[in-house]
Amino acid sequence: MNIPFSSFQFSAFRRQYLDPIVNALRDRIIRWGRKLETQSVSFMILLGVAVGVSVGYTAIFYEKLIDFFEFLFFDLLAGGLQIYQGYIFLLPLIPIFGNLIVSWIIGRFAPENHGHSVPEIMLAVAKKGGILSARVGLLKGLSTAIAIGSGVSVGREGPIVSIGATIGSNVGQMLKMSSNGLKVMVGCGAAAGISAMFNAPLAGVVYAIEIVLGRFTINSFSPVIVSSVLAAAISRAYLGNFPAFNIPMYELVSHWELIFYSILGIIAGGVSVFFIRTLYWVDDQFQRMIATREAKAILGGLILGVVGIFFPQIFGVGYDTTNDVLFNRMELKLMLILLLLKPVMTSVSLGSGSTGGIFAPSLFIGAMLGGAFGMILNVLFPAVTANPGAYALVGMTAVVAGTTHGPMTAIITLFEMTNSYQIILPLMIAGILSTIVSRQLHSESIYTEKLLRRGVRIQQGSDISILERIQLRDIMQTEFKVFQDDEPVANILHYVEEHRSDNFPVVDAAGKFAGMISFQELRDVFLRKELHQFLIASDIAVRDTITLSPQLSLLEALYAFEIRNQEVLPVVGEQDASQVVGLVSRSDIMSRYRQELLLEAKQIEPLA
């Protein structure tokens, strides 16, 4: 019997039965937490324990779910197709079918899940106070498991990061934590996800701080570490104490190799940019040329399936293929072909409406690049080069660093897998050089590019697009006191005592800007009363002060404040740069930034 259960009915059921239970539990935890000074380090660490354990077990379930769908699609379904003559040419039906299911789930229940999901977490941290939807996180895991199980060429790390971050966010939301507390919980979940997937707890911590949170704070460090360690411990207990890749031991054969690794890092930077641009170019073509979700899913699955007939290595996450390269079990020609195919097939997968991560594809591409590069070097310089697998490992680090603009994450992840100091120098050199080259060729990472296309620029965990769209003319102070350059300092100090103001432009007899007097200069002369009658404004004014133009953005103004460590800077006329038309302070800029964030935050619904 078909019993309909609409979203409206579920909402009513939740309000009547679930919400009272959840609220009672939440209130009890909050009261208990207040005894520990809610959001103190101790309380945050305890919550980090809860998040780490939850994400650890969720990661195990997620792994098993992927295995189930791989069995369903490639054992049962593909096995059923073998009864037909020429069944190999029916292989594209599998990714088509999987793509259609994923496309329907995303379109019907979670449009936010289209593409890779780490940018959504970065956006939540920068603009939404760490608020993530439980519904979106749950469906992200399900849809990605189906996608990978049906051979779609994506990674599994991004989705588990999304799931982990969602768990952390919703724990914080239930406890009515502040936005800072929510962000820490998001970082805990993201770290736990990476830690459980790669069996690399240190990499999880660095990933959360470098990519997700964008900044390091003492208060966030301890709970993030605890979450990451516990998730790794649970993963090891159930899935085994071994890394995602079976990596043999490598050594630096010759110091000449550092030059080769440097060249590899530079090339990897270019390959990373190729991957980023291909990903978004293909997505643009699908959006521009094909109207319906179903048509996109069918075309994407068809392309993937046809290519997979001849090169099945492009199906799924590709860990087995990557291991083949690390153990030197692949020919040069095939590595070069897969180096070109993988970024295109991942782009087709995501552009056609599927969902998944880009971390594993970046590792795959890096392995192909490094393996091919190492094999060529082995032929040219056999006496001074390690086996190609070592170069594949370094290539993996370099491409991940170049695509994510997170060199520390890439270096620590691969170093933690090898646990060998012999390879650390090549990893560091190639990772840093790849990041530098990638940033020079393409300023945005593969994550931030997605947000930039929506008008949002994320830098160090903050939305700097707000600072870019507001000009100084909108916030500058237009009423201020100006002193002539021959004004006695005694008069200036008397004015400060009466008006509680301590930043003044100084002008000459012609009214042209001649410098700035700030609290720093006034403090230096205040106690030396014997000099007051001899000094004038020009004696203490800072003449090389940076001046700002009214049409500058707040972001450009902040850069000027960093160059000149002053709290207040003068704004001069657009037509006549010698005329002071306003003053702006660093606190004015940050106050306006916070106001804009609050206005946008009013549109956010928690626990959606």
- pLDDT block averages, 10 residues each, the chain of length 608: 49 64 64 54 88 96 94 82 70 92 88 78 84 87 93 92 94 85 92 93 92 78 94 90 74 88 98 98 93 92 95 93 94 97 97 92 97 96 91 96 95 86 90 97 93 77 71 90 90 84 88 87 76 82 88 87 82 88 89 75 49
Question: Is the separation of the CB atoms in 56 and 233 below 8 Å?
Answer: yes
Question: Is the separation of the CB atoms in 371 and 389 below 8 Å?
Answer: yes
Instruction: Please determine whether the domains at 257-460 and 467-598 fall in the same fold group of CATH.
Output: no
pLDDT of residue 601: 54
Residue 355 structure tokens: 């969902």
- 36 phi, psi to nearest 5 deg: -95, 15
Question: Is the separation of the CB atoms in 387 and 181 below 8 Å?
Answer: no
CA atoms within 13 Å, Cβ hemisphere of 52: 25
- DSSP alpha helices (H): ranges in 208-256? 218-239
Beta-strand relationship, 504-507 and 483-484: parallel
Q: How many CB atoms lie within 10 A of CB 390?
A: 28
d(CA 544, CA 290): 58
pLDDT of residue 113: 65
d(CA 395, CA 413): 13
Q: Where are the strands (E) in 426-468, listed by range?
A: 458-459, 462-463
Residues 6+ apart with CB under 8 A from 449: 276, 280, 442
Amino acid identity, position 582 = G
H or E segment at 506? strand 504-507
Residues 6+ apart with CB under 8 A from 184: 44, 130, 172, 219, 220, 223, 224
**Residue 14 DSSP symbol:** I
Question: Is the separation of the CB atoms in 96 and 298 below 8 Å?
Answer: yes
Question: Is the separation of the CB atoms in 352 and 301 below 8 Å?
Answer: yes
In the three-class reduction of DSSP (H, G, I as helix; E, B as strand; rest coil), residue 384 is classed as coil
The domain ranges of the chain are 20-241, 257-460, 467-598
Closest by Cα among 344, 358, 347 to 447: 358
d(CA 150, CA 66): 9
| pLDDT tens string 282-305 | 999 999 988 899 999 999 999 999
Q: At what angle do helices 388-404 and 319-326 cross, to 10 degrees?
A: 130
Residue 515 backbone class (left: φ over 0; alpha: ψ -120 to 50; beta: rest): left
d(CA 10, CA 29): 26
Cα dihedral sign for 308, 310, 312, 314? negative
Q: How many CB atoms lie within 10 A of CB 190?
A: 36
Closest by Cα among 503, 461, 457, 510 to 482: 503
Question: Is the separation of the CB atoms in 247 and 326 below 8 Å?
Answer: yes
CATH no., domain 467-598 = 3.10.580.10
Strand ranges across the sheet with 504-507: 483-484, 504-507, 513-517
d(CA 545, CA 521): 13
Residues in the chain: 608
3-state helix, strand, coil in the chain (%, to 5): 70, 5, 25
Give CA separation, 115 vs 111, 144, 271, 287, 506, in Å: 10, 10, 20, 12, 55
Burial of 515 (C-beta count, 10 Å sphere; 0-12/13-18/19+): buried
d(CA 227, CA 57): 12
Question: Is the separation of the CB atoms in 404 and 397 below 8 Å?
Answer: no
Cα dihedral sign for 395, 400, 406, 411? negative
Amino acid identity, position 136 = V
Question: Is the separation of the CB atoms in 366 and 403 below 8 Å?
Answer: no
d(CA 100, CA 432): 40
Please identify which residue in the block is written with the tokens 């077990």.
57
Residue 566 backbone class (left: φ over 0; alpha: ψ -120 to 50; beta: rest): beta
Say what percent of the chain tops pLDDT 70. Answer: 88
Superfamily of domain 257-460: Clc chloride channel (1.10.3080.10)
**Residue 464 DSSP symbol:** T
d(CA 232, CA 217): 22
Residue 297 structure tokens: 């899913």
Q: Cα 291–296–298 angle (5° rounding)?
A: 135
Which residues share a beta bridge with 507?
A: 484, 513
- The radius of gyration of the chain from alpha carbons, rounded to an integer in Å, stands at 29
pTM of the complete model:
0.80
In the three-class reduction of DSSP (H, G, I as helix; E, B as strand; rest coil), residue 404 is classed as helix
Q: Which CATH class is domain 20-241?
A: mainly alpha
In the three-class reduction of DSSP (H, G, I as helix; E, B as strand; rest coil), residue 505 is classed as strand
Residue 372 structure tokens: 């091919």
Question: Is the separation of the CB atoms in 140 and 162 below 8 Å?
Answer: yes
**Residue 130 DSSP symbol:** T
